Amino acid sequence: MGSCHWKPAGYARPRRRYQPPPNKTPPAKPHAPLLPTPPALRSDSPERSQPQPAFLASSPRIARPMLTMLSISIVIPVYNEAPVLPLLFAGLAGTLAELEQAHGPVELVLVNDGSADASWDLIRTQCQRDARYVGVNLSRNFGHQRALAAGLESARGEVVISMDADLQDPPAVLPQLVAKYCEGYDVVYATRLTRGKESWGKRITANIFYRVIEKVSGVTVHKDTGDFRLMSRRALVELSRMREVHRFLRGMVPWIGFPQTQVFYDRGDRQAGETHYPLPKMLALAFDGIASMSTAPLRLAYLLCLLLFSVFIGYIMWVLFDHFVYGSELVQGWTSLMSAITIFGTIELLMFGIFGEYLGRTYEQVKQRPLYIIADVERSATSPTPTRSEPS
């Protein structure tokens, strides 16, 4: 019979802490070395100490100093540009050679937006002569912004540059855009210092438009930029997710964010042909930009209704006060009555037009029709396939 040890009531055996056996303590794992803070993020960096525009401070940029091999795509929408296309091919030759020597393969995507002249024939001929050219023929004219979207989504390069075919966007600026990309920027705008022989009226209206759309949309739409820009692959992927029917790329690209900057150049004159953006098209593009980037017109109509209602109430109170205090007659004159009817009727029709415009845009959006339809793609059999140098 074993011995019995008496324990008081509520007794609990004390718990002993675990101790490893002597000389068997596992060695401590060495800590991984901390990565140095990028210069753009350090408080003592010159770039950090200087004030930056809002569109540059959206996210930190990481420079790509070791990036030498880089696939580049250049997208050019074409609409009735047969007179200027031979000049475009000749003007791009030297810049393409420079880019290929410095970075690697280059492809040019020419999008024929339902041209009625010989533009598509010239594009096909150039694609057969030069394997770097790719021709995309749309089934009809879808408009400049949709044609540009077709080219951007057809491009295969890691870096995609969009420009116009009229040579007002000089090809010599392309290496500067790529250099800014190598510094760590995902979007690089080509900003005009001069606007060639554009009229003063066009310049004034352009300034007013950029100021208005920046105020109503809350997005920095860079003045004098146009559609001459560079985009990285990851920025282009995010842009492709935006399937608006009424597209305004000059506002959509700043909206996606990422590190953005700009280079400056002198805009030349059109080399041949005529402009395809007369005043009515420019006004339509301006309205598309405001309506697609903001609901300010709807809020403006609401505020206008409140203003007119306040004026109407004030007028009634003044008439009643004048009648009961001074004994004036309540006879309304024909002129004042017709003026009130005309003003209120015009304002109501204007507001109905604004509501109808937004309702029509909603109707077109929910139909989910494709932005464009590609009829043909012309590509040389020996066309090189650009390879991406870094993941998107």
pLDDT (tens digit, 9 = 90+) per residue, 155-177? 888 899 998 888 888 888 898 89
Residue 66 backbone dihedrals phi, psi, to 5 degrees? -90, 5
Cα distance between residue 92 and residue 234, in whole Å = 26
- Pairing, β 106-112 against β 133-138: parallel
pLDDT (tens digit, 9 = 90+) per residue, 220-243? 777 777 788 899 898 888 888 887
pLDDT given at position 389: 44
Residue 347 has pLDDT above 70, yes or no: yes
pLDDT given at position 74: 92
Question: What kind and span of H or E run contains 295?
Answer: none
Q: Which of 60-69, 140-149, 316-325, 372-381 has the highest mean pLDDT?
A: 140-149
Mean pLDDT to the nearest integer, 140-145: 87
Q: Write down the domain spans for the chain.
A: 72-294+372-379, 296-366
Type of residue at 182: C
- Whole-angstrom distance between the N-terminal and C-terminal Cα of the chain? 79
Q: What is the pTM of this model?
A: 0.62
Instruction: Quickly count: other Cβ atoms within 10 Å of residue 102's Cβ.
Output: 15
Q: Which fold has domain 72-294+372-379?
A: Spore Coat Polysaccharide Biosynthesis Protein SpsA; Chain A (3.90.550)
CA 373 to chain centre: 22
Mean pLDDT to the nearest integer, 367-371: 79
- Beta-bridged to residue 264, according to DSSP, are 191
For the chain, percent of residues with pLDDT exceeding 70: 58
Q: Residues 108, 74: contact at Cβ < 8 Å?
A: yes
pLDDT (tens digit, 9 = 90+) per residue, 82-110? 888 889 888 888 888 888 888 888 899 99
Mean pLDDT to the nearest integer, 122-147: 89
Min mean pLDDT across 17-31, 125-139, 287-301 is at 17-31
Cβ-Cβ contacts under 8 Å for 339 (sequence gap 6 or more): none
Cα distance between residue 350 and residue 355, in whole Å = 9
For the chain, percent of residues with pLDDT exceeding 90: 6
